[in-house]
Structures are given as structure tokens and as C-alpha cells.
Amino acid sequence: MDKPTEQTRVIELQQLLNQYNYEYHVLDTPSVSDEEYDSLMRELTQLEAKFPELKTADSPTQRVGGDVLANFEKVEHRTPMLSLGNAFNDADLRDFDRRVRQVVGDDVAYVCEMKIDGLAVSLRYQQGLFIQGTTRGDGTVGEGITENLKTIRSIPLRLSDPFDIEVRGEAFMPKKSFEALNEAKLVNDEMPFANPRNAAAGSLRQLDPKLAAKRNLDIYVYSIADLGETGVVSHSEGLDLLDQLGFKTNPERRTYSSIDEVITFVEGWVDKRPNLSYDIDGIVIKVDSLEQQAQLGFTAKSPRWAIAYKFRAEEVETKLIDIELSVGRTGVVTPTAILEPVKVAGTTVQRASLHNEDLIREKDIRIGDYVVVKKAGDIIPEVVNVLVDRRTGEEQAFHMPTECPECGSELVRLEDEVALRCINPRCPAQIREGLIHFVSRTAMNIEGLGEKVIAQLFQEKLITNVADIYKLEKDQLIKLERMGEKSADNLVNAIEASKQNSLEKLLFGLGIRHVGAKAAKTLAQHFETIDNLKRVTAGDLVAINEIGEKMADSIVTYFSAPEVSELIEELRGQGVNLEYKGPKAVKIDDSDSYFAGKTIVLTGKLERLSRNDAKTEIEAQGGKVTGSVSKSTDLVIAGEAAGSKLAKAAELGIEVWDEDRLIEELKK
């Protein structure tokens, strides 16, 4: 081929491959075989290498993942990304309908759509070219994830018309891709993702777009952020325009003019939902006319013209075969129900935490009982209640032991706590769990050193404390089960690389009581080196905004122990970095979270999360949890039987959420 012919061929291939890509990923009607597509792609890659000036921003070769980023830039949304109010039953939907009709009259049409359970993203196009993609973040500011979004093949890199437009949609991981990904993770002894939503979010927050490219994500686009000069007068016309421009919209949408029809549609999906190839967590109902939408307007957080109907968690029956006990890193002994395997909300469940003895008593759970199981928030398996009618008399009541199931020392119940604890610092279970925590992703992030590997190394007495991890040698690793030459090499490299982590990762990994990931970062930023931190007083610590008395005491006690000094010296000797390497600014990068900088009070009995977990999660996202409600409280989380604190919150006009809302916001 001569040069001009080759150049024409590049343009031809780009157009052809973009067309095939659209047919395959958006229309689901491929017109060429995978082999042919791959062969044309190879041809284009070679030609573009020869004529780099022809490698346009919308070339299909741009989807394989570009350079690794250092971080994601913050991007302010031109129009805020709001959330939706929820409906949980017919009555809520009828209320919504009534409110709508009061404002706009009786001539209303509603569009019902799948509520895709993924990650909201915004896509900007200039002159029809995809120029920027962002996450929702806190609704006002999100993160620029353009390169990762380009790897989603159903996102057009160029539109069929040269529009300046910003659209919103839900990126998600199809169920099949999720299962395959988790299987691969298990084989590699890595933590599987809890659900497709987390997997999608995790994939889009990879700094290396090549990793995101491997994750098989997809998208449904559901609205145009700024309709401007599009001439569109209804939401459904907007969706049709999105189709024409080359976007993938969800085909299951329907328009109705009565709430009865809407309710029938919604109820129909309760049973059909498992047949979809992707997860939905509800149905979104939107007023179709844009003029009526404008009349209805917005509350502070969500439009009055739309509502999300949330499906109730699926409940199934199974037998509780046994109750197992495990000792956690902090010595808390947790009972877990061992269940006859049963499929709930898409995955097989065999275990459910029973949290503590009080819960077992309250629900009167006995070994051998038939129980109802659900996944709270479609994630955490939970025993809802016992089917008392199915009892045969053979069931066995369960009693918590008085001694630690791992080390035999006496268990204690600390003040204020329902949990039983083993307080023996040499308890092997606590040490093992502490080691698992040390290498986990948020801590030292040593890839390849999963729970099973740690358990083996600990069993073989190759590691007894965290410093021993840095003494491991390849020869020792190769002898472990399922450890090949290559994985041993990778592991040695991962251990070596973790020595360079900034101080906060180590601090969090050490497992100092009450010090979560967020507090570890604050401490590292303030004190910069572990030696400085060793010298601080409780007074120095509480002077820092985010640190309360309990944490301060715990830090001082921790560093005053001689064995901790020894451990630090051992780590130093192994070449582990003991200094903060991040930006000096005190401002912490947590602006994505709703909880950042807020003061929150937990009151009443929480059902799905333990209080400690709720606190740790809130703190990890930058919030501060305090004990009493005052003017400086931003938010109160009220569980069952919340009393005077709830009354105080109402008196002071402080926002109150229930536990479900808390969990929903924590998951964002």
C-alpha cells in the first residue's frame, strides 16, 4: 500500500470498528465474527503506530487503557448529581402520585425504568467527542475517570451528531462478569467483591486504566444533564434522542398514566428481576413532561418529580446446622450461623453473622432450627427470624462459652459492650487476625498474602508478628500449599514494595484500638514520623479535631508498651518506611463522602451493623462519632427504641436518619 492509501485505510478502519463496536455492545446485534474484529483491530493498531498523527481521540484503539494515573482529579459538576427519594410499598407510591397531581393536575404520564445497581457517572461530549467522564462523588464534586470510562465499549467515543452535551448513566458490572471475576479472585486467594456494584466501583477507581479495561463493565444512560438546545420536551423523548446519538439506554422502560399501572409494573419486576443479566435494586418512576418536572422542582437533595421504588430484600428459608465461634483481631468472640447452602439475591449463602449472644436470645435461635434468611442491603447475610412452627423438639439451645475457643483464657464482657472478648494478648486467633489485617488492602496492601496464606505461615510458625513478614524468603513461601514459583516471586516483590508505604498504612495496619484508616492518616499527617508519634501525650492528641479521648488514650497506651518499641525497631531494621509521604496539607482527601467533617450521634439499637462497625465506617469516611446530641451535631442515626437523644435531635432540628439510610450512604 502506498502512503495515502494507508492513511485512508486508517480512517476507514476506525469508522468500521466503531460501527462494529456499536452493533455489538449497544445494539447487541453483531455483524462480524470476533476473529474478524480482532484482525481489523490489529491492522489498525499497526497502522496507527506508523502514523501516530492519525490516532484520533475517538479511535477504537483508545479503549484498551492508557497511562497509569497518580490520582483522580476533582471535577465540579456543571449540574449537580442528585439522588432520589425512596418508596418501599404501594402506599409510598400513591403518596408520591398524590403530591405530583396536587402540583401539576391530573394529566400526568410516568416513565418507569430499571434502577440499575451500579455507579452513577456523568459523561461530557464536546462537538460530539467524549471529553470527560466523572463519578458522582458528593453530588457537587466528583472524580475524573475519563480513561477508565473509555474502556466501557458501550460508551460512544463520538456521537452521531456533533452535540455539546452532558449525559448521566449507571455504569455496572453484568452478573456473569462479576461471577467470573470473583472466581478468579478466589483462585488467586484474593478477597472477592461483595456484589457487582462494589466490583464496578472498584474497577472504575483503578488508577491503571488497563485494569479497568479487563473488567467488562457496561452502562445504561438514563438522562441528559443539560437539555439546553436539544428541543426535547419530555424525558422519554430525551431517552429516544440518547438512542439516536449512539448511547445505550435500557429497553425495559414503559410509560403509564395511572399509578395503578405503575404499581402493576413495579410488582411484575419483583419476580422477573433475577432473570436480568444485571442487578437492579428497584424501579425509578419519573414524571415524563419536562414542563411538569420544572413545576415540581427539587427538594435539597432530590427531584420532586421522581422516586425510586426499592425492592424488599429477598427472604428464603433454610436450616441452621450449627453455630460457629470466631475470635477477631480485637478479641471479640462472634457467633456465626452455619446454614444449609441456599441461594439469596443471586449468591449462595452458607454463613450469617449472629453478632452476639443477646441477638441469639432475642430471636431465640437454636441449632437445628429452620430460619428465614435475607441479605441486608443485598449484601450482608442475616437471620431474620426462626420458623418456630417447624420445630421438632430436637433443636439445641446455644450458650456462649466462658472461655476463648482458641486459647482457653476466660472471656470478659467489657463495660457498655454486649460482646464477649478474649483479653489474652497472646491469643493465637487474635494474632493471626491481626496479621491478616496488617496485610489487607487498606493497611499495607500486600497483594498475594491473603487470609489462607497468612493462616498457613502462622500455623507453620514462620510468622509470629508483623515484622516477621519482612523476613520471609522465597524458599519458605514455595513450600506452601498452592504456591508456585511465580506467585512466590510476586509475593516477595509485593512484600518488598510495601516497605515503601507511607506511614498511615502502617499505623492503620498495626491495629491500634480505635484507630481507623482515617484517623491513621490524620495522625501520620500531623506527626509525620512514628518516632514523633511515640512521644506524644494524650493532650497533644485530643487537640487534633478528629481525635477523641478514647482514641488518644489508646494511642498513648499502645506506644508505651516495651514490646511495641521492639516491634518498631524490628520494622526499621527490615527497612520498612516509618514516615509520612503524602501531601503536607492538613486537608484530607475525603470530600467524596457525605460524612466528611460531620459530627454524628448513634442512638438506639442498630440491627444490621454493630455500633462499633458503624462508628469505624463513619470515621473511615471522615466523620466524627460522639456520644451526646448538641448544637454541633450534624446528624443523628436512630435505631430501634431510640429515646432521649432522638427527642433532643428533634428539639434542635437536627437531621435524623434510620439505619438503612446510613448503610446506603456508607456504601456510596
Q: Which H or E run includes 48? A: helix 34-50
Nearer to ligand IVH, 116 or 602 (CB): 116
Q: Which residue is nearest to ligand IVH (CB)?
A: 120
What residue has cell string 435531635? 649
Percent composition of the chain: helix, strand, coil (DSSP 3-state, to 5) = 40, 20, 40
- The C-alpha cell of 114 is what? 430499571
- Considering the complex, state which of residue 243 and residue 546 has its C-beta at the smaller distance from ligand IVH: 243
* Interaction of residue 111 with ligand IVH, rule CB under 6 A: no
Q: Least distance in Å: CB of 165 to ligand IVH?
A: 16
Q: Taking Cα atoms as reference points, which of 281, 294, 283, 157 lies closest to residue 235?
A: 294
Binding flags for ligand IVH, 82-101, as an x/- string (CB under 6 A): xxx-----------------
Cell numbers describing residue 629: 446530641
Task: Give the residue carrying C-alpha cell 509485593.
Answer: 494
Supply 369's cell numbers.
Answer: 432450627
Q: How far is the CB of 212 from ligand IVH (least distance, A)?
A: 18
Residue 118 or 156: the one with the smaller Cβ distance to ligand IVH is: 118
CB of 305 to ligand IVH, least distance (A): 9
Q: How far is the CB of 254 from ligand IVH (least distance, A)?
A: 12
Residue with smaller CB distance to ligand IVH, 157 or 284:
284
* Alpha-carbon distances, residue 139 vs 82, 230, 513 (angstroms): 6, 24, 33
Got the DSSP string for 196-221?
HHHHHHHHHT-SSHHHHHTT--EEEE
- Out of 97, 143, 147, 170, point to the residue binding ligand IVH (CB under 6 A): 170
Task: Considering only the stretches 79-87, 209-217, 409-417, 629-637, report the one whose residues sit in contact with ligand IVH under the rule CB under 6 A.
Answer: 79-87
Question: Which H or E run includes 318?
Answer: strand 315-327
* Shortest distance (Å) from residue 492 CB to ligand IVH: 42
Q: Please indicate whether residue 615 is annotated as part of the active site.
A: no
Give the span between the Cα atoms of 322 and 355, in whole angstroms: 15
CA proximity to 249, closest of 240, 261, 258: 240
Beta-carbon contacts of 575 under 8 Å, excluding residues fewer than 6 positions away, are 470, 499
**Residue whose C-alpha is closest to residue 122's, from 106, 140, 102, 104:** 140
Between 47 and 306, CB nearer to ligand IVH: 306
Contact mark string toward ligand IVH, 205..244, x via CB under 6 A: -----------------xx---------------------
Task: Check: CB of residue 424 under 8 Å from CB of residue 406.
Answer: no
User: Which residues from 2-61 bind ligand IVH, rule CB under 6 A?
Assistant: none
Are 535 and 520 in contact by the 8 Å Cβ rule? The answer is: no
Q: Which is nearer to ligand IVH, 82 or 404 (CB)?
A: 82
Q: Tell me, residue by residue from 276 to 315, as one string, x for binding to ligand IVH by CB under 6 A and - for no binding.
A: --------x------------------x----x-------
Considering 3, 50, 55, 115, which one is annotated as catalytic?
115
Residue 20 or 265 with smaller CB distance to ligand IVH: 265
Q: Which stretch binds ligand IVH (CB under 6 A): 111-119, 202-210, 451-459, 642-650?
A: 111-119
Instruction: Provide the 3-class DSSP secondary structure of residue 144.
Output: strand
- Per-residue contact track with ligand IVH, 172 to 201, x per CB under 6 A? ------------------------------
Among 120, 239, 259, 666, binds ligand IVH (CB under 6 A): 120
Nearer residue to ligand IVH within complex by CB, 222 or 256: 222
- Residue pair 447/469 in contact (Cβ under 8 Å)? The answer is no
Q: Interacting stretch for ligand IVH, rule CB under 6 A, among 115-123, 202-210, 418-426, 564-572?
A: 115-123
Beta strand 380-386 with 74-76 is unpaired
Residue span binding ligand IVH (CB under 6 A) among the ranges 61-69, 76-84, 347-355, 456-464 = 76-84
To ligand IVH, the closest distance from the beta carbon of 82 in angstroms equals: 4
Return the axis-axis angle of helices 611-620 and 517-527, rounded to nearest 10°: 40
Minimum CB separation of residue 283 from ligand IVH in Å reads 8
Question: How many angstroms separate the Cα of 197 from the Cα of each of 67, 103, 281, 624?
Answer: 25, 36, 11, 27
* Per rule CB under 6 A, count of chain residues that contact ligand IVH: 14
Which one, 197 or 366, has the nearer CB to ligand IVH?
Answer: 197
Which cell goes with 111?
416513565
Q: In the block, which residue shows the cell 477504537?
A: 60
Site of grid cell 527497612: 575
**How far apart are CB 44 and ligand IVH at their closest, in Å?**
34
**Grid cell of 574 as nine digits:** 527490615
Q: Minimum distance between the CB of residue 116 and ligand IVH, rounded to whole angstroms?
A: 4
Residue from the set 48, 97, 113, 143 that interacts with ligand IVH by CB under 6 A: 113
Nearest approach, Cβ of residue 227 and ligand IVH (Å): 13
Q: Which three cell numbers stand for residue 481?
A: 500449599
CA dihedral 273, 171, 443, 75 (to 10 degrees): -150
Q: Backbone phi, then psi, for 322, in 5-degree steps?
A: -160, 165
Cβ proximity to ligand IVH: between 307 and 435 the closer is: 307
Q: How many helices (H) and strands (E) does the chain have?
A: 24, 22
List active site positions.
Answer: 115
Summarize as ranges the residues that interact with ligand IVH (CB under 6 A): 82-84, 113, 115-116, 120, 136, 170, 222-223, 284, 303, 308
